[in-house]
Each structure stands twice: as C-alpha cells, then as structure tokens.
C-alpha cells in the first residue's frame, strides 16, 4: 500500500470517530449503530447510522476503502482500456429533526488508478471532497459562519482556493432541472492532482484540513437552532425541500452514481436519503414568506464571506 493510501485510510478512520462522538454529544439520546461490510470484488467499509434522535432524525457517517478492476462505464469515463482502482473516503449526510436546523453533507476522498491488478504502480491519483449546507429556514449568520470556517481552512493553503471551490460547489450542487441550488453551498473540489503549485502530499494536507474543519463549521449552527420552536407547517416545508435533496442525489450526484456502478453497498449509498419526504404537485410557498425567501436565495447563489 502506498504511503498516501495508508495515511489517508488512518485519517478517515480517526475523522469518523471524532465526528460521530461530537454528533452523539449534541443529540444526547441516540448513538450511532456501526455496520462493517465487505465489498464483492475488493475492500469494504464501516457504516455508522444514527436514527430517531432528539436532534438528528437520521444521519450517516460512512468510511470505505474499495478496490478492484474498473467497470466498463468508469473505464470509458476515464478513457482507459485496462484499469484497476483504489478509492478511499469518508462521506456523511445529517438530516436533523427540526426544520430550523440545516441538513449537512460532507465528503473527503482519495482515488488511485493502476495499470495492473497488483496495484503497486500508480498511474494517476487525486483528492476530492467538500462540504455543503442545506437550510430549510435561513439565518444569514449561519451561512456566514459555515463559509467562514471553510474559508479559513482553505486560506492556510492559498487564498486562491476558497473562491474557486466555493464557485464549484454552487455549480455542482445545483438541480438544473429545477433551476435552483440544493442549499447555500460551501466547498466542492475534485481531481486535485500535482500541479505547478502543489504536490499530491500538499493536496492531501489540504483535504485533511478541510475535513478537520467540518465539526467547527456545522455544530455551532446546530446548537444555535436546535431549540428553536417549529410547527407542523414548517415541518411540512422541510419535507418538501427534502424532496429536492433526493432528486439531486439520485439524478446528479457523482458519488451515488459511482457507488451504484461499482457494485457498492446499497444500504450505505442510500444512507444519504431522508426518512420522510414529500413531492406535492406544483407546491409554491406563500408570497413574502420565510419559505419563499429561502427559495429566492437558492435560485440566486450569493457570496457569504
């Protein structure tokens, strides 16, 4: 195993432990169920899910390290005739019970390609990941906090990174069929290969710093909003917006599609889906409402810091 693969595997294992402990402490009722699994064809993972908590209605913090021969659709995507891969990463989605607390997603991953099944000689390798926030009711201070913490993590590695990766996030987490963003963004980066500015090891450090920033970016928002009162109509709006979340994950999300095309574990892949969701026909929020205000932001992404 390459040094980067080995170190990153240890990193995501430790990060999973830290994030799960922090979320359990906030919820106060439920703990994560751990579900180790093995993948037919090579590798496996450790799925952790929390459900029916006082704060978190459903959430998952998953890690996996999988390897094997690339399926034909992925070979075509990478434009290779023969190819083997190793992919390791952490992926999480947290769906709070209260519509006043935003849903959050994050992913931090590393991918390697090889010419033969021994997987010793790397032909390509890159990092990817990011984090994004999906509020149902928006306080500007929450979005500013989330973006500020992520920007600080980026700025340690160059002030060019946050503007680029914030823009990529706005463009990626976008339901083009709806003409609206999934949420208020954050960071999205992919295919971080060695270039004239940064080595692969430096991209690794950047990715790990972004991962380490997640708890500070998200949990203060949860603690500020978890005791806000809400009613049935506001819960209904949350479920309407969760429908848009499902649409993105099943239509556009690269990680979901990669997992399905590489014989991934279905329960772990669909962990990202919320427990209750609605698709009302032609639902429109009331004019001048807080719901409409959120929708207007999603149709016109803005700068938060």
Rounded Cα gap, residues 100 and 226, in angstroms: 7
pLDDT digit of tens for each residue in the chain (305 aa)?
A: 589 999 999 999 999 999 999 999 999 999 999 999 998 888 999 999 999 999 999 999 999 999 998 878 777 777 777 789 999 999 999 999 999 999 999 999 999 999 888 888 888 999 999 999 999 999 999 999 999 999 999 999 999 999 999 999 999 999 999 999 999 999 999 999 999 999 999 999 999 999 999 999 999 999 999 999 999 999 999 999 999 999 999 999 988 887 887 777 888 888 889 999 999 999 999 999 999 999 999 999 899 99
Rounded-to-integer distance, Cα 53 and Cα 31, Å: 8
Q: Which residues are catalytic?
A: 105
Residue in the block written with tokens 């849903």: 103
Judge contact between 247 and 173, C-beta under 8 A: no
Which of 109, 118, 108 is CA-nearest to residue 83? 118
What is the per-residue pLDDT for 305?
96
CA–CA dist 14, 206 (Å, integer): 16
- Order the strands of the 43-51 sheet from edge to edge: 33-38, 43-51, 56-69, 84-96, 103-114, 122-134, 185-192
Alpha carbon distance 50, 34 (integer Å): 9
Report yes or no: 124 and 191 within 8 Å, Cβ to Cβ: no
At the topology level, CATH places domain 3-299 in: oxygen-dependent coproporphyrinogen oxidase (3.40.1500)
List 49's β-bridge partners, or say none: 33, 60
β-strands 33-38, 180-181 pairing: unpaired
- Could you give the CA distance from residue 210 to residue 154 in angstroms, rounded to a whole number? 7
């Amino acid at each position: 195993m390459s040094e980067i693969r080995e170190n990153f595997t240890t990193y995501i294992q430790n990060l999973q432990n830290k994030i799960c402990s922090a979320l359990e402490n906030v919820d106060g009722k439920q703990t994560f169920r751990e579900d180790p699994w093995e993948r037919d064809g090579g590798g496996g993972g450790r799925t952790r899910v929390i459900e029916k908590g006082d704060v978190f209605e459903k959430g998952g913090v998953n890690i996996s390290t999988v390897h094997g021969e690339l399926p034909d659709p992925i070979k075509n995507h990478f434009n290779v005739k023969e190819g083997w891969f190793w992919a390791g990463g952490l992926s999480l989605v947290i769906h709070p019970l209260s519509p006043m607390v935003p849903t959050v997603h994050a992913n931090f991953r590393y991918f390697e390609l090889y010419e033969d099944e021994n997987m010793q000689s790397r032909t390509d390798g890159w990092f990817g990941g990011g984090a994004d926030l999906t509020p149902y009711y928006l306080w500007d201070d929450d979005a500013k906090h989330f973006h500020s913490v992520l920007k600080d993590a980026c700025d340690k590695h160059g002030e060019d990174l946050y503007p680029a990766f914030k823009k990529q996030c706005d463009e990626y987490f976008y339901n083009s069929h709806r003409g609206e963003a999934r949420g208020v963004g954050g960071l999205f980066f992919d295919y971080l290969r060695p270039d004239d500015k940064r080595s692969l090891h430096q991209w690794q450090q950047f990715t790990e710093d972004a991962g380490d920033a997640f708890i500070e970016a998200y949990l203060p928002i949860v603690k500020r909003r978890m005791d806000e009162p809400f009613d049935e109509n506001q819960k209904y709006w949350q479920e309407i917006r969760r429908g848009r979340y499902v649409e993105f994950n099943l239509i556009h999300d690269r990680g979901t599609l990669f997992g399905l095309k590489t014989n991934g574990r279905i329960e772990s892949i669909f962990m990202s889906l919320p427990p209750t969701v609605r698709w009302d026909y032609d639902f429109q929020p009331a004019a001048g409402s807080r719901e409409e205000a959120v929708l207007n932001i999603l149709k016109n992404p803005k700068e938060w810091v």
